[in-house]
Amino acid sequence: MQQRMRPNLSELVACAANAVFGLTALVIALGYELGSVRRMGPGFFPVAVCVTVMALAVATAIESLGAPVERSSTAWRPLLFISLAVIVWTQLIDSLGLVPSTVALIVISSLAKPPFRPVSMLLLSTGICIAGYLIFISGLRMPLTLFGR
């Protein structure tokens, strides 16, 4: 029961993030015309929602004070490699085409979950490239090329 007494720090961080999100949006939204009740400007509704988000962030923070602390660790490795894989894919797809971008995506994302399996990865890349070609380029006529633009 001792846990109950201690404020739940990670929960508070989450609430603070919500509050900051609401505040940032509010600052931007105040730049739009508010208008009148009869003819509302583009700023009226966003301002109202921002204020609501901030109020709710405070309320959740108060609520979380009584909640028990749950511990969980963040897995940085998957986060890093999955993000990297997707970013690389978006950078390559328009310039180098489907095959290089997809191979890069699969190789990088595979690093998120060791052990590294070169053979199954190669097979997977080949399979996905073929499937990708058949479904998206040949079948659905997406404006993509296999290699280069």
Give the whole-angstrom CA distance, residue 103 versus residue 101: 6
Q: Which residue has the tokens 């609401």?
A: 22
Could you tell me which of 127, 82, 126 has the C-alpha nearest to residue 105? Answer: 82
Q: How far is the CB of 71 from another protein (least distance, A)?
A: 11
The contact set with another protein (CB under 8 A) reads 10-11, 14, 18, 21-22, 25, 28-29, 32-33, 36-42, 44-46, 49-50, 52-53, 56-57, 59-60, 63, 72-75, 77-79, 82-83, 85-87, 89-91, 93-94, 102, 105-106, 109-110, 112-113, 117, 120-121, 124, 128, 132, 135-143, 149
Which H/E stretch holds residue 123?
helix 118-132
**Residue placing its CB nearer to another protein in the complex, 3 or 90:** 90
Please give the structure tokens belonging to residue 114.
């060791």
